[in-house]
């Protein structure tokens, strides 16, 4: 299971590339838009999926999470907002900056 390439082509390609580096090409038989749906499809015994580690908090009966042995791949994310930001957005940006401790925060 994987999400459609049209939603996040860079991440999709990174997952396919990781599989190919491991010596196989995945046989994608099902795509889903939401990660929760992907986990539910795995719970329904419809396949396996590579998902972010944060989904381990989403427990489903019969689903087992295993970390990849190789160094976990990294992907960049971006935050967009209207300028000037509303007060609530400014507060959110402060929190994001504190949580991420990003080196390249703008």
Give rounded-to-5 percent helix, strand, coil for the chain.
Answer: 40, 0, 60
CB atoms within 10 A of CB 106: 6
Which pLDDT belongs to residue 32? 93
Q: Whats the size of the chain, residue-wise?
A: 106
List the alpha helices (DSSP H) in the chain. 9-21, 35-43, 87-100
pLDDT at 94: 87
- pLDDT of the residue at 65: 94
Angle subtended at Cα 10 by Cα 8 and Cα 13, rounded to the nearest 5 degrees: 105
pLDDT in tens, the chain (106 residues): 898 999 989 888 988 988 898 899 999 989 999 989 999 999 999 989 988 888 888 889 999 999 877 666 676 777 888 899 999 999 988 888 887 765 554 4
* Diameter of the chain measured on Cα atoms: 50
């Amino acid at each position: 299971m994987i999400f459609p390439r049209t939603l996040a082509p860079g991440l999709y390609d990174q997952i396919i590339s990781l599989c190919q580096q491991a010596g196989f090409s995945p046989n994608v038989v099902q795509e889903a838009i939401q990660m929760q749906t992907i986990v539910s499809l795995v719970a329904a015994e419809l396949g396996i999926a590579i998902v972010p580690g944060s989904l381990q908090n989403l427990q489903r009966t019969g689903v087992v999470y295993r970390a990849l042995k190789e160094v976990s791949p990294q992907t960049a994310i971006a935050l967009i907002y209207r300028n000037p930001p509303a007060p609530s957005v400014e507060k959110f940006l402060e929190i994001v900056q504190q949580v991420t401790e990003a080196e390249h925060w703008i």
